[in-house]
Structure 1
Amino acid sequence: MKKSVKEIVNKSIPVAMQRARGLGRIATQFGPRGTRLLSLYQDGCAKIRLPNTHSQALEAVLINTAGGLTGGDTMEWRAEASPDSHLVLTTQACERIYKSTGDVARVATRLIAGENAHIDWLPQETILFDASKLSRTIDIDLAQGATLTAVEAVLLGRDAMGEEARNAQLTDQWRIRRNGRLIHAEANQLCGTSMERDGISLLAGMRAFATILRIAPDAAARLDRIRQLLPDDTKIAASAIGDRLIIRALAPNGLALRRLIVPLIAQLSGGGGLPRLWHT
């Protein structure tokens, strides 16, 4: 039987899947009334909104209008806080990473803090669904006197559905520099093996984990207060090295993780609290 031209063309040309692309940039300036917007750019599925607050800081809400990411999607966020300014960055909701058919979803974040500026990087949790693949990079440049509070939390599957997402994959790279000199680096990889998920020295069966980092001269001075807030019989610990205060937390689910980290973030953020979206 002869094939039609349409059938031949359809088999010979690969189908290009539609992918989400997003780029959002924001920069601040400092003036008599506190931190104000200097510039804002948004492209693709990346959107940035500036809610009204009673703070001297500028709060920016990062939104992925695609509703989540899957293999081949890319999202890029860039933010710059001018000298003496205070910029708070959060997300509208948890970022969802869905099942991939092969490629990875990529998220790149770049933050720059000028002299004596402060950045609060406070996105809500990232949820990794079954068979998802995420490659994430966070690059931060701090000028002299600049300070930082950053949190990244990851949930493996949805609590309400009883998912464990045991084959989810994650590559996470952090690089933080002060005046061009590397002061903090970490690399985490989740390959979806049983050893990672169940090993007593790794996730130990937990489905939620978070890192909270504060870089400021008062890091060591805050350590005792932070340790007083750590509940007993939980998998959470804090340490301070120089001007870095680092907290690592493990929890059986997302709700338990929030209960652990919310009081800590509130203590360490530049404004002494969390964005309202964390409480909605």
Structure 2
Amino acid sequence: MPDCTTAVTSTVAEPCHGAWQAQLTLGFALHGGVSRLLKRRHSGPLRVQKPLYPEGEAVCHAIIVHPPGGVVGGDQLHVDADVGDGARAFLTSPGAAKWYRANGHVSGQHVVLRAGAGASIEWMPQESIFFDQACVRLRHEVELAQDASYIGLDIICLGRSASGETFNSGSISQHTQIRRGGKLLWWEQGMLAADGPLMHSALGMAGHSVCATLIAVGAALPAAVLAALRELAVPDGAQFGATQMKTVLVVRLLCSDSEAARRVMVAAWQLLRPALLGRAAVIPRIWNT
């Protein structure tokens, strides 16, 4: 198998005959006090079945479905969501994303999120599981109006711990950038190679197999909220922190239990969402199925 560590640093992913090239474009707008999904276009296996309103008409929930159930080497997924002025959208997934072995090809996901004046967008997918020999490039871009808000969750799980599988070979390249009012607020990029130093470095995974990150952008949160976040119970041996930098709040957890990581991140979301968006955190029913 080609060295996928090299492949992910190239400008263009290696083409793969028969791989899925899937794209989903969503547009939300506020009409009569209702956040509506007015634009829904897809090609390939990515779609939203219907908008949901579990917490009233002000927030539109959309469940992004990837029917194949897993991403194989060479598959490329692209999600583009635009939330108009004053609208609110909550995007999630019905289950964990599974990234299978590379088979000599780079897989990828590119997410682009935009929110207009006074709007909010929440990107809250369930965890991503990277199988041994997966070779993946991830890119996440957020563009916010000056007074728009964003909450984003990312949980990566290296290997399938429940099956005793570890991430022995392969690599994951990540790039995240967030802009608000045209100003770059957050820029993070890096690559985790299964045999690389970051797997055990204190600056990387520190020997853990799960990394969970929650980023919130909007009004600065009260000190009491930050203090409550730092008091959340975490698994034994985990590394956890919450930091606020003006209008950006970052919560990060390193551990080796994906279910525990999700519990901690959901608890963090339940603390910060009322303060940031003025709404209680309503757990989507799909998370319990």
Tell me the TM-score normalised to structure 2 length.
Answer: 0.86
Deviates more, 1:195-204 or 1:251-260: 195-204
Q: Structure 1 residue 259 and structure 2 residue 239: aligned? A: no
Q: 2:221 aligns with which of 219, 222, 239?
A: 219
Report the CA distance between 1:256 and its aligned residue. Answer: 2.3
Contiguous gaps of at least 5 residues in structure 1:
1-15
Q: 2:147 aligns with which of 145, 153, 161?
A: 145
Any idea what SS the aligned residue of 1:239 has?
A: strand
Contact 2:22 2:43 in 1 (8 A): yes
Identity %: 26
Contact 2:235 2:255 in 1 (8 A): no
Structure index of larger Rg: 1
**Letter aligned with residue 75 of structure 1:** L
Q: Structure 1 residue 277 and structure 2 residue 248: aligned? A: no
Q: Structure 1 residue 48 and structure 2 residue 57: aligned? A: no
Q: Paired residues, what number?
A: 265
Contact 1:213 1:245 in 2 (8 A): yes
- Match in the other structure for 1:19: 19
Counterpart-to-counterpart distance in 1, 2:263 and 2:44: 34
Contact 2:21 2:44 in 1 (8 A): yes
- Match in the other structure for 2:99: 97
Counterpart-to-counterpart distance in 2, 1:220 and 1:192: 39
Counterpart-to-counterpart distance in 2, 1:39 and 1:48: 11
Q: 1:71 aligns with which of 70, 73, 80?
A: 73
Report the CA distance between 1:231 and its aligned residue. Answer: 3.7
What are the superposed Cα offsets for residues 30-52 of structure 1, whole Å, 9 maximum, x if unpaired?
A: 12242112211111111112353
Counterpart-to-counterpart distance in 2, 1:133 and 1:99: 7
**Letter aligned with residue 275 of structure 1:** P
Q: What RMSD over aligned residues (CA atoms) do the two structures have, in Å?
A: 1.8
Contiguous gaps of at least 5 residues in structure 2:
1-15
Counterpart-to-counterpart distance in 1, 2:197 and 2:158: 15
Deviates more, 1:120-129 or 1:36-45: 36-45
Counterpart-to-counterpart distance in 1, 2:207 and 2:155: 16
Contact 2:86 2:117 in 1 (8 A): yes
Moved over 6 A (4+): none
Contact 1:70 1:133 in 2 (8 A): no
Alpha carbons of 1:43 and 1:247: their partners in 2 closer, same or farther (altered >3 Å)? Answer: same
Tell me the TM-score normalised to structure 1 length.
Answer: 0.89
Counterpart-to-counterpart distance in 1, 2:184 and 2:40: 28
- Match in the other structure for 2:119: 117
Any idea what SS the aligned residue of 2:133 has?
A: coil
Report the CA distance between 1:201 and its aligned residue. Answer: 4.0
Report the CA distance between 1:95 and its aligned residue. Answer: 1.0
